[in-house]
């Protein structure tokens, strides 16, 4: 068992009693179950919050060196496996990811800055559970699943859209760990796209984000399946189910996509806050859903 020890730099600066670097998942879970620390991967949320003194933790548990947790792999036809502690930069630097997973690549590219993405991980983005987490809508339309430790022994899996339970909350056990994500291989008759709106070009949080995926029937060219996910318009990232329904079975004309975008605007119920009023957010939903649908269609037809 790794001794509970003080980190020479982090502990005094962040007011921690100790810092762990467990060597195995079992060891990490043991430390977490004893209540000795908060897990962190890139630390781009945890360390910032500690420095701002908005949270306090007894200790920190560095999970980045756990076996396999920062590994990712993909083979054409076999989908994409991503360890939870994989930094975004690793994924965006790989043509085998960016060329096949367009929406995911687009969502990663806007997160923070290159320096941030060298540290920030995909698992940290999901576990932080911000309604504006940029990877979430793209992962939802990609039908990604997450695997995490269960309440007892063993692991559980669910779709990313089922993972969130409120702002800053997920169904992950407080002493648990997110282990990995699996993203199925996109079908050749489908296309997807992610876009967000921020007042500043970079280093800003989305006022609204949207991702869309369209799958076309191979013989008729009509919409076989549509998935639309929205960020920053509800306590968790959400699907726009009514807008999806209006597309299915029809020829994907510009008018139909404009109609779906209008329905997405009506079915979401955002709050007003410092970043934008509810009506402004709804107007953005209409624009972003229409644009992402158009782009997803173009990619599906290619
Ligand atoms: C300047 C700046 C700009 C940013 N810009 C964006 C942006 O544009 N878009 C965006 O979405 N986010 C942004 N963020 C937020 C942040 O960078 C991301 O949420 C990032 O992906 C978090 O990953 P991390 O590995 O650093 O998480 P950490 O800080 O290590 O952890 C975040 C949370 O997840 C938990 N956690 C991490 N990994 C695991 C795991 N495997 N199992 C269980 N719990 C875990 C931690 O306990 C903590 O609660 C920004 C942050 C900063 C500081």
145-168: average pLDDT: 93
pLDDT of residue 185: 97
What is the CB < 6 Å shell around ligand 1? Answer: 38-46, 48, 63, 84-85, 110-112, 116, 119-121, 123-125, 127-128, 133-134, 172, 177-178, 203, 205
18-36: average pLDDT: 92
Pocket test for ligand 1, best of 52, 62, 112, 198 (most atoms within 8 A of CB): 112
CATH architecture of 72-183: 2-Layer Sandwich (3.30)
Q: Which atom of ligand 1 is nearest to the CA of 176?
A: 43
**Residue 111 CA to ligand 1 centre (angstroms):** 10
Give the span between the Cα atoms of 204 and 195, in whole angstroms: 14
Element (DSSP H or E) covering residue 10 = helix 10-14
Question: Is pLDDT at 79 greater than 90 in this prediction?
Answer: yes
Q: Are 76 and 100 in contact (CB under 8 A)?
A: yes
**Residue 117 CA to ligand 1 centre (angstroms):** 10
Question: Is pLDDT at 294 greater than 80 in this prediction?
Answer: yes
pLDDT of residue 145: 98
Q: Which atom of ligand 1 is nearest to the CA of 148?
A: 42
Question: Is pLDDT at 152 greater than 90 in this prediction?
Answer: no
220-235: average pLDDT: 98
State the CB neighbour count (10 A cutoff) for residue 49: 16
* pLDDT band at residue 203 under the 50/70/90 scheme: confident
Joined tokens for residue 276: 């934008």
For domain 10-62, the CATH class is alpha beta
More confident residue, 298 or 49: 298
For the segment(s) 190-301, the CATH number from 3.10.450.40, 1.25.60.10, 3.50.50.60, 3.30.390.50 is 3.30.390.50
Question: Is pLDDT at 254 greater than 80 in this prediction?
Answer: yes
Q: Domain locations in the chain? A: 10-62, 72-183, 190-301
Percent of the chain, pLDDT > 70?
97
* pLDDT band at residue 1 under the 50/70/90 scheme: low
State the CB neighbour count (10 A cutoff) for residue 277: 12
Q: Which atom of ligand 1 is nearest to the CA of 88?
A: 21
Residue 96 Cα to chain centre, angstroms:
19
pLDDT of residue 5: 63
Give the span between the Cα atoms of 243 and 259, in whole angstroms: 8
pLDDT of residue 14: 78
Question: Is pLDDT at 4 greater than 60 in this prediction?
Answer: no
Question: Which residues fall within 8 angstroms of residue 98, CB to CB, at 6 or more apart?
Answer: 92, 105
* pLDDT band at residue 21 under the 50/70/90 scheme: very high
283-291: average pLDDT: 98
Give the span between the Cα atoms of 53 and 59, in whole angstroms: 14
pLDDT of residue 6: 65
Summarised one tens digit per residue, pLDDT across range 45-70 is: 999 998 888 888 889 999 999 999 99
């Amino acid at each position: 068992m790794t001794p509970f020890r003080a980190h020479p730099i982090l502990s005094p600066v962040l007011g921690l009693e100790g810092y762990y670097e467990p060597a195995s998942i079992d060891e990490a879970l043991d430390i977490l179950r004893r209540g000795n620390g908060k897990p962190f991967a890139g630390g781009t949320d945890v360390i910032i919050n500690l420095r701002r003194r908005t949270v306090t933790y007894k200790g920190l548990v560095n999970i980045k060196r756990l076996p396999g947790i920062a590994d990712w792999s993909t083979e054409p036809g076999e989908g994409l496996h991503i360890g939870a502690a994989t930094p975004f930069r690793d994924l965006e630097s790989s043509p085998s990811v960016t060329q096949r997973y367009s929406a995911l690549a687009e969502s990663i590219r806007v997160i923070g800055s290159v320096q941030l993405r060298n540290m920030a991980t995909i698992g940290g983005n999901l576990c932080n559970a911000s309604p504006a987490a940029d990877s979430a809508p793209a992962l939802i339309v990609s039908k990604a699943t997450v695997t995490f430790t269960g309440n007892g022994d063993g692991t559980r899996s669910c779709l990313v859209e089922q993972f969130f339970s409120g702002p800053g909350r997920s169904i992950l056990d407080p002493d648990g760990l997110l282990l990995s994500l699996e993203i199925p291989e996109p079908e050749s008759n489908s296309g997807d796209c992610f876009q967000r709106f921020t007042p500043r070009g970079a280093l800003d949080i989305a006022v609204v984000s949207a991702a869309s995926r369209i799958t076309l029937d191979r013989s008729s060219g009509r919409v076989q399946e549509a998935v639309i996910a929205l960020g920053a318009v509800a306590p968790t990232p959400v699907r726009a189910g009514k807008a999806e329904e209006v597309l299915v079975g029809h020829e994907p004309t510009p008018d139909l996509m404009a109609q779906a975008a209008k329905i997405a605007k009506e079915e979401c119920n955002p709050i007003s806050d410092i970043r934008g009023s509810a009506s402004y957010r709804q107007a953005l939903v209409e624009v972003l859903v229409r644009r992402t649908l158009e782009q997803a269609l173009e990619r599906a037809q290619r």
